[in-house]
Structure 1
Amino acid sequence: MEQFVLFGTYCENAIAKRAPFRDQHLDRLSKLKDQGILITLGPTKCTRYVFGIFQAKTLEEVKKLLESDIYWKEGIWTSIDVYPWTQAF
């Protein structure tokens, strides 16, 4: 398994716009965490950016997971960039 880092952005008024989808989003993230795929994920304090770390076999696997998230489908996340990551410490 390799690690991948996510850098992304949220839409304007993300806090309000995400409300109808938040439970579905968090339930899914909880399952990914239980499976060992999701290490961590969350917004910056200003809620303009999202950051995450994933563990998976391929970059494509992580991209598919993110593109199938309700936040991506509903436009809450407006960009998602994923990169292979080497953890130094």
Structure 2
Amino acid sequence: MDKFVLFGSYCENAIQKRVPFRDEHLSRLNKLKQEGILITLGPTKCNRYVFGVFEATSIDIVKKLLDEDVYWKEGIWTSLDIYPWTQAF
């Protein structure tokens, strides 16, 4: 299994705009965490950026998971960049 990091950004007023989708989003993330695919994910304190770490067999799997997320579909996330990552420690 390889690790991947996610760097992304949120739309303007994301805290308000995400309200109708938040439960669905968090429920899905919890499922991915239980499956061992999601290591961590969350916003920066300024709520402008999202950061995450995933463990999967390919970057395509991570891209597909993010494409299916309600935050991406509804425009809460406005950009998502995924990179293979080597964990040193």
Q: Shared fold (TM-score greater than 0.5)?
A: yes
Instruction: Give distance in 1, aligned partners of 2:23 and 2:84.
Output: 28
1:83 is matched with which residue?
A: 83
- 1:55 maps to 55
**What's the RMSD between the two structures over aligned residues?**
0.2
**Any runs of at least 4 consecutive aligned residues in structure 1 with deviations exceeding 6 A, and if so which?**
none
2:14 is aligned to 14
- 1:55 is displaced (CA, Å) by 0.2
Query: How many pairs were matched up?
Result: 89
Letter in 1 for 2:58: T
Identity %: 74
Please give the per-residue CA displacement for 1:33-85, whole angstroms capped at 9, x wherever unaligned.
00000000000000000000000000000000001000000000000000000
**3-state SS of the aligned residue for 1:36?**
coil
Partner of 2:74: 74
The gaps in structure 1 that reach 5 residues or longer are none
